[in-house]
Chains A and B, each alone.
Chain A
Amino acid sequence: MELIGLLAIGIVIGIPTIAIVALVRSKNAEGRIEESWYKISDLQGEIAGLRREFSRLSDRVKELEASAVPPLAEDRQVSQNQAPVLAAIAPEVVKEENALSVQSAQPAAASSWLDETTVPPRSCPEAVPTPVASFEANEQPAPIGFAAFEAHVQPEIARETEVAPTWSVPADLRPGIPLTSAAPVSPPIPSFAAYEPATPRESAFQRLKTNLPLEQLLGMNLFAKVGIVLLVLGLALLGRIALIAMGPGPRVALTYAIAAAMLGGGILLERRERYRLLGRTGIGGGWALLFFTTYAMHHVAPMTVMRSNTLDCVLMLIVAIAMVAHTLRYRSQLVTGLAFLLGFSTVALSQDTVYALVAGVILALGIAAIALRMSWFELEIFGILASYANHFYWLDKLYPDGTTGHTFPEFWPSAIILVLYWATFRISYIARKVASPRQEAYSTIAALLNTMLLLAVMKFQSTHPELAFYALLAIGALEFAFGQLQVTRRRKAAFTLLTVIGTLLIFAAVPFKFSGNNIGLFWMIAAEALLMAGIVQREDLFRRLGLLTGCVTGLLIVYEASDIVELRWSSETLLLKDGILLLTCSVLFYLNALYLGHRWKDLFGKLDSGLATAQSLLGCITAFLGAWALFTADWTAIGWAALLLGAAFGVRYLKDRSLLLQAWALAGAVIIRAAVFNWHFDNPFPHHMAMRIFTLPLLALAFYCTRWVLDDEVAQWHALRSVSLWAGAVLFAALPSVELPTPWIAPVWTALAVGLGLLGHRFRLRDLTFQEHALGAATVVALLTFNLEATRALDRYLPLIGCSGVFYAASRFCTRKDASYRQAAAWIHTWTATALLAALAWNESPQPWLAVIWILFALALAIVDRVFTVEELPWQAHTLALLAAGSAVTFNFFIPDKLHGVDLRLITVSILVAALYSLARWVRMPKPVQETDARHGYTWVASGLAAWFLWCELQPISVAPGLGVLALLLFEIGVWRGQKQLRLQAYALLAASFLRIFLVNLSAVTLPGEFISPRTYTVVPLTIIYFYVWARLLRSNSQPDFGRRQVSNLIAYFGAGSVVALLYYQLTPQSIIAGWALVVVALMVAALVFDKEVFLEQTALLSIGILVRGLAHNIFGSSYFTSGGWQGKFSVIAITSALLFAALPLAFRIRSRYVDRPRGSSLAHFLAARRPEQILFFVPLLLIVITIAVKMDPGAVTLAWGIVGLLVIVLGLLATQRSYRLTGLTLLVFCIGKIVFRDAWHLDERSRYITFIVLGVALILVSALYSKYRDQVSRLL
């Protein structure tokens, strides 16, 4: 019932929704049409512009040509006062006279073009045309060449969209046109503006962007207006609140007077061109105040002087209502559709008997007829939905719970009506002529809906399930037959759709009468029949349907056979019948896929091949299941292995990729089965041994045979070949792992590996050599797992030493001779052997002597290398030496034991050091390495020990300076002796000292009696050392260290960082940013003196740090009650900001240096080096602005921000910095926003009018500044 209710609600809501959607889409279409007209008009405008551009260029060409002729003497004597007038005339003359008198005017025009300074554009503003004049000029006839284009455009559209040129002749100068006949005597000097081409129509935004940049728009234009508004409002408030003692009459008079003053002032200013905009805003403000006053005369209580609301309204308001009438005079599918749908709705609401539904049939007929006649196939979809929904609604009213299988009297009439619906719409579908793919798509939807809804409603009223088979068969047959009609076959989509629907219905009918295997049988027969029909008739659709239904049948068979899988989890019973049936099916599928596919290859396209491949896969699955049913227990894997071999043969002879895939799957299945079942890990008793010993080698043999079958060099087979070989080897290697005692597994595997390696080496089989490697790896694991922990010494020493010896011995012939990785394999073998022996030593020797044994082993390897020249042994010696050193550092330094009265640490470390020095001298190194500073590894150790010594001997707070001194000495020696490694050790020690100060020095407390803080006297020397090393690096002539610039920068960062950190811990929390600001100034000075970018980077970083800390601590994080004094809420921020602003001149000087230098790519570099003045400006500004917001009285925030904004703009104008000016403008805009959204509603009256007036004045001042300096600003934009 819920479903029915939902469906009814869906219909009730859906039909109007669809209608609304259609209406909206119709409107959208109208909008798009309208937009298209606009685009056409834009194009016309662009054409007009191009036309004028063309005309201008033609003129210019002619002028240039004429300029070759010396101008007349009297041309040069023309008074410049005449120039603007004549300049405006000249183009008009060119246009109207159509080049009749142009030649005489050209010389003067050319001279004006070539020398703009003679008549500057701004000297003749009168020449700039007004829009009205432009429109008049537009009425001139167009040249003939463009008339042809315009003839294609509708006349009314063309009239509406003609574009006005940007130049024209003032009306009062029209009489002067005939004067052009005297042009040769007195040639005009046209202004620059007069020659500007007409621009195409642009959007408002583009016009703002190009003609009025944002800065000017805000500063000059918008601020003037907003300022006036605020001023007016402020004055109004002032008048209303502050002058409360005044009566309404005087109050009105006063505001009128102020308004008049503003009006007058505006009029005066408007006369001066530079302040015209400001004047106009003044006039606007005056009028606004007049408006307010007029409004207030009746509506504001303290100013009420008028009782008549009507009169006040008449005075105050001008109301215009634009009425737009929509006349829809076109034939609308929507309207028709709505009519029909409403008809359906009335039928649905009024029906009571089944015969009332005949009306629905008539409507369906009508809608089908209209759809056929008008080709409104979308409408038919609504008709189908409405027809069946209507019928369903009727049924649901009669039987809310469905018919539940019980017959009812109206069954047959209802069924007939439904069939009539179906027949009506099906005939409509067959008989129609489709003109476009879109119509065909709608038709397809209609055809599908027709059948689906018929079946759905029939199912709802089903009372005779036994008839379902016949009904489906009949409808399917009819659909199939309709699909074969000549009229249908003309439309491929219709033929395909009806044939498919028919076939599906026929197939769907079968389960209603048959069950079990019979379904598969019937389907298989039908599928084969369709397939054969498709092949005989060469009809794609039949063939594909046959293949498709065959696939579906196969899936059904597989689904039913899945019981075998379930059964096999618990039982290994033989399933003979099922196995034979499945294998038969498998044969059939393989015949379809492989035989037919290859026999009629020309018929099998891509889709057919895909379906055939699917059948091939189904054949594989059924064969797999069949084999599982017939072969049980240990023999299952054998059966599958046989299938694998068959698939491999198929791959070899048919070259079929799907068979290769099947072979992969079968190989995987065999491997899993062998591992899970045939191995018998879970039950390794002797009675399994016979079977295991028999089946595992048999399976290995099968895999080796597979490898043999796939012997051809086909790239796709390589992987399967390798897997087969690997599987065979694994199966062979598996036996010892389960049959032998654990200590002997590794030796046997080693022997097997050597055997495989030798075979691979002899027969050049790469896979065998790989298997040797894998088995070798497994041997290592076994040795480390089983033998190293064995209880008997024999089991530990013999296998490990023996296997190591074998690895050493086999290292040179473990791979093929021509293997590319031969050397790597040999190296790995010897490394493995060495590692095993080292591990044995680690396992067996006492801890203090481990380092000694390892270092002596390293020495032995180095000596062997000296004798036999084995390349990898020196590296093993190095590794062992490193391990020995690590062991010593980790353990030997902390050994308290003694050996015969002598300190054991002394003995072992001495041996170690001696051996290290011996190694340094004796170990052989490759030539390229020998030439490097590898030997300095030992000096690194020495330096490390020295540092350790310092750590032991000095006080914690002294360690960092001690490290610094050591680093300084190492650095100086390194520079003196030209030894880079010593310098690098110095850098490392400097880094350590820098880190160390954060652990001790900076947290040290000043004790009573200490005049200098321990922080200071331990960190400052380090800072000096850092900067000393940095300066020495700059001037040193020694060989460059790796990335010396980075090193010097890093050390410079240590220096600055130590100072910054010292200030952080030494100063009070509030004043840290002030200290940092001082460092910023110092860094700027350093940047100026040394000309190094690193200081600029530090400046930028520190400035950002100041900003973050200032915001987080000084502004938001400061104490609530104890912020008095000079560290209070404003003073530190003010000092910090002042210091940062003080560094601005330095920043500007530095910036000027980078004008001619190559520009860095990163933003950070750009900001730090090329634009230091930006960070140094914005950081303090942000601090100030946010401090004002957070710390100031709410009433004064906007006021303060406004003043800051004004000052910032003034600074921006003085420093010619656009970003500053934009920031000031942004701040003022924010103030305006704040006023509009907050202050106007939340501030008290007094704060409000003060804010309004002051900010209004500030904005007007800004506007005045922009007006005054607009030329400079324009140049800087």
Chain B
Amino acid sequence: MKRILALSLVLMVAMAGLYLAQRRKHFDTVSPNAILNAAAGIQRDLSQAPMQLTRLPDDSEIRIGNELAEGYVRVEPVHSAETETVEKYVSVVGERVAARAHRKLPYRFHLIANPDLINAFALPGGHVFVGLGLLHEMSSEDELACVLGHEIEHVDHYHAAERIQIEAQLKKIDLDAIVPLAHIPIEVWQAGYSKEQELEADREGLRLAAAAGYSPQGAVKLFERWAELHREYVAHASTPVDELSQIAIEGLQGYFRSHPLPDERLKQAKEVIAEDGLDATKQLTPLAVSSLLQTKPSLAGATKNVGDTQLGR
């Protein structure tokens, strides 16, 4: 009798869980993300001790960042007066956000005038690059501040410096030499960081933007939009075999590109707003260059291939 009761109880609990899960209005993605995030987190954690023990001095980091940025700017020059205007605008917002960063580095902000680049990334030493495609996805200056805050925090919290240290170790690059640095492809910076680093950059970037006077709703809006895009992008497997192969492929491809899901980032942003008591009702500031972005065909004609990009790196 006890056995039957225990079995019934267990079944009831399980059925309750099943009921709740079935009732849930959300299609959860099947992916190796949990394992990959854990692996990336472990890998990152294990590299922290040597990272800390061989930390680059700030001046070296700035020099390396300058050399890298020089190479990338040469590849992706700003061509027109419009793009220069947009870049200046990005710089103004960025400098305002960066004013409250922990590390006092010479932060500089660049626009990559590629409408297909729905991405942003930061280099060690304080260079932040924003893709034109990403600006197209924004509707307010607060969202831009959130993105820039995110990238600034990657620099501020040594994520970018650690990345260059790891790259130097993996590729046996002498960080004191100039030429080998040019061989580090730009994709290294666009690939993103570990889940914890991304969430940390999100969290601290949001606080930085809010401290600079921007509405935290900018981050919420941005993450909501990305979550929507992500849901559209994710392909649903039709068989277990498909699912397994999809997981395997994602596992192989995504090991070095593990990143939190947009839903998780959105959730964290809301928690930060609640915990820090940020003013969620604050009005969003329109993007001052939105008209420029909308009117100019050279700027607005981007093909938004969301699937090939890493959002908000």
User: Chain A interface (Cβ within 8 Å of chain B)?
Assistant: 893-894, 948, 951, 954-958, 961-962, 964-965, 968, 972, 998-1008, 1010, 1012, 1014, 1017-1018, 1020-1022, 1024-1025, 1028, 1032, 1064-1065, 1069, 1109, 1111-1113, 1116-1117, 1119-1122
Contacts and interface: CB of A to CB of B under 8 A. Distances in A.
Contact of A1028 (B10, B38, B42, B156): B10
A961 B6 contact: no
Given A1012-B20, A1024-B13, A1119-B200, 19 more contacts: A955-B27, A955-B28, A961-B17, A965-B18, A968-B7, A1003-B28, A1003-B31, A1017-B17, A1021-B10, A1021-B17, A1021-B18, A1022-B14, A1024-B10, A1028-B6, A1028-B7, A1113-B41, A1113-B48, A1116-B45, A1121-B157
A1187 to B, nearest CB: 13
Of all A-B residue pairs in the complex, the 9 with the closest CB atoms, nearest first, are A1112-B45, A1117-B48, A1021-B17, A1005-B263, A1117-B45, A958-B21, A1003-B34, A1116-B49, A1021-B14
Contacts of A1064: 38
B28 A1014 contact: yes
Interface in B242-261: 243, 247, 261
A902 to B, nearest CB: 22
Interface in B26-53: 26-35, 37-38, 41-42, 44-46, 48-49, 52
B37 to A, nearest CB: 8
Nearest to A1007: B26
B13 to A, nearest CB: 5
Contact of A1005 (B32, B52, B267): B267
A611 to B, nearest CB: 57
Contacts of A1022: 14, 17
Give the most central of A999, A1004, A1008: most B CB within 10 Å. Answer: A999
B30 A955 contact: no
A1003 B195 CA distance: 12
A1112 B42 CA distance: 8
Contacts of A1002: 34
Interface residues of B, number: 53
Contacts of A956: 27-30
Nearest to A969: B11
B57 to A, nearest CB: 15
Contacts of A1010: 24
Contacts of B45: 1109, 1112-1113, 1116-1117
B74 interface: no
B24 A1119 contact: no
B100 to A, nearest CB: 12
A957 B21 contact: yes
Contact of A955 (B10, B24, B31): B24
Contact of B24 (A957, A999, A1020, A1032): A957
Interface of B: 3, 6-7, 10-11, 13-18, 20-22, 24-35, 37-38, 41-42, 44-46, 48-49, 52, 102, 156-158, 196, 200, 203-204, 239-240, 243, 247, 261, 263-264, 267, 270
A1058 B38 CA distance: 14
A1022 B13 CA distance: 9
B49 A955 contact: no
Given A1018-B21, A1064-B38, A1117-B44, A1003 B29 contact: yes
Contacts of B156: 1121
B13 A1021 contact: yes
Given A965-B14, A1017-B17, A1119 B157 contact: yes
Nearest to B250: A999
23 contacts: A951-B240, A955-B27, A956-B27, A961-B14, A965-B14, A965-B15, A968-B14, A998-B34, A999-B34, A999-B247, A1003-B31, A1005-B261, A1006-B267, A1014-B21, A1018-B20, A1020-B13, A1021-B13, A1021-B18, A1024-B14, A1112-B46, A1113-B45, A1116-B45, A1119-B200
Given A948-B240, A958-B22, A965-B14, A1003 B200 contact: no
B166 to A, nearest CB: 14
A1095 B52 CA distance: 36
A1023 to B, nearest CB: 10
Nearest to B25: A1007
Contacts of B196: 1069
A1014 B267 CA distance: 14
Contacts of B20: 1012, 1014, 1017-1018
Nearest to A999: B30
B240 A1005 contact: no
Nearest to A1035: B3
Contacts of A1008: 270
Contacts of B157: 1119-1121
Contacts of A955: 21-22, 24, 27-28
Contacts of A964: 14
Given A1017-B21, A1028-B6, A1120 B239 contact: no
A1007 B24 contact: yes
Given A951-B240, A1116-B48, A1065 B34 contact: yes
A1122 B200 contact: yes
B14 A1025 contact: yes
Contact of B33 (A968, A1003, A1069): A1003
A221 to B, nearest CB: 36
Contact of B102 (A951, A1006, A1113, A1121): A1121
A1013 to B, nearest CB: 10
A1061 to B, nearest CB: 8
Contacts of B261: 1003, 1005
B168 to A, nearest CB: 19
A965 B41 CA distance: 32
Given A958-B22, A1122-B200, A1000 B14 contact: no
B142 to A, nearest CB: 21
Nearest to B197: A1119
Contacts of A1004: 26, 28
Contacts of A1116: 45, 48-49, 52
Contacts of A999: 30-32, 34-35, 247
A894 B18 CA distance: 28
A1119 B200 CA distance: 8
Given A956-B30, A1014-B28, A1121-B157, A965 B11 contact: yes
A1000 B20 CA distance: 15
A1048 to B, nearest CB: 17
Contacts of B28: 955-957, 1000-1001, 1003-1005, 1014
A957 B31 CA distance: 11
A114 B48 CA distance: 66
A893 B156 CA distance: 54
B150 to A, nearest CB: 15
Contact of A1014 (B24, B34, B52, B203): B24
A893 B241 CA distance: 12
A825 to B, nearest CB: 40
Nearest to A1008: B270
A762 B25 CA distance: 79
B247 A954 contact: no
A346 to B, nearest CB: 57
Given A1005-B263, A1064-B38, A1116-B48, A961 B33 contact: no
Contacts of A1014: 20-21, 24, 28
Contacts of B239: 893-894
A1006 B33 CA distance: 16
B79 to A, nearest CB: 38
Contacts of A998: 32, 34-35
A1003 B37 CA distance: 9
B281 to A, nearest CB: 17
Contacts of B10: 968, 1021, 1024-1025, 1028
A1051 B104 CA distance: 53
A999 B36 CA distance: 10
Contacts of A1020: 13, 17
B31 A961 contact: no
